[in-house]
């Protein structure tokens, strides 16, 4: 019979991500420069997502790669506007485009971005 997990026990993922000989997370002090860099990167990501049309695009791309005309149909936004927002998202590293013949199929660079947006929408729908 397997013993019940202990609340203080580390998961395998936590152990795998710690360098050998590392001090446990609770006792480490954050590196201010690394923290500032992470905050800056997070701010850039959130700025790139700070438009309703871009949020809609990310939600639709979370379903899989799509071309501009698919996103125009799904969002109801005009094609030039969708293309402009895709340019911003691509510049921020949120989406990538792969040419398929005459079209470019856009997709999320990381599924975590879709989760961030879905969580934000879920949070916005919660009663206050």
Please report the pLDDT score of residue 24 as a whole number.
54
The CA-atom distances, in angstroms, between 103 and each of 43, 76, 87 are: 31, 19, 15
Greatest C-alpha distance within the chain = 62
- Under the banding of pLDDT at 50, 70 and 90, the label for residue 13 is very low
Q: What is the DSSP letter of 5?
A: P
Tokens of 113: 């971005």
- Under the banding of pLDDT at 50, 70 and 90, the label for residue 110 is very high
For residue 21, the number of C-alpha atoms closer than 13 Å in the C-beta half-sphere is 0
**Secondary structure string (H, E, C) spanning 26-67:** HHCCCCHHHHHHHHHHHHHHHHHCCCHHHHHHHHHHCCCCEC
Q: What angle do CA 15, 20, 23 make, to 5 degrees?
A: 75
52-125 maps to which CATH number? 1.10.10.10
- Under the banding of pLDDT at 50, 70 and 90, the label for residue 2 is very low
Please report the pLDDT score of residue 102 as a whole number.
95
This prediction has a pTM of: 0.73
Contacts of 51 (CB under 8 A, 6+ apart): 85, 88
Reported as type and span, the H/E element at residue 105 is: strand 103-108
Domain ranges in the chain are 52-125
Please report the pLDDT score of residue 64 as a whole number.
96
**Secondary structure string (H, E, C) spanning 82-121:** HHHHHHHHHHCCCEEEEEECCEEEEEECCHHHHHHHHHHH
Per-residue pLDDT of 27-76, as tens digits, reads: 667 788 888 899 999 999 999 999 999 999 999 999 999 999 999 999 99
């Amino acid at each position: 019979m397997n013993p019940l997990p202990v609340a203080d026990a580390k998961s395998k993922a936590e152990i795998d991500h710690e360098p050998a000989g590392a001090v446990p997370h609770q006792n480490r002090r954050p590196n201010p420069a690394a923290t500032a860099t992470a905050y800056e990167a997070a701010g850039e990501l959130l700025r790139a997502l700070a438009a309703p049309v871009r949020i809609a695009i990310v939600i639709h791309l979370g379903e899989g790669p799509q071309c501009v005309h698919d996103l125009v149909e799904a969002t109801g936004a005009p094609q030039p506007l969708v293309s402009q927002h895709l340019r911003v998202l691509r510049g921020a590293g949120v989406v990538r485009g792969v040419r398929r013949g005459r079209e470019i199929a856009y997709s999320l660079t990381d599924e975590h971005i879709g989760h961030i947006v879905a969580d934000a929408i879920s949070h916005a729908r919660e009663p206050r």
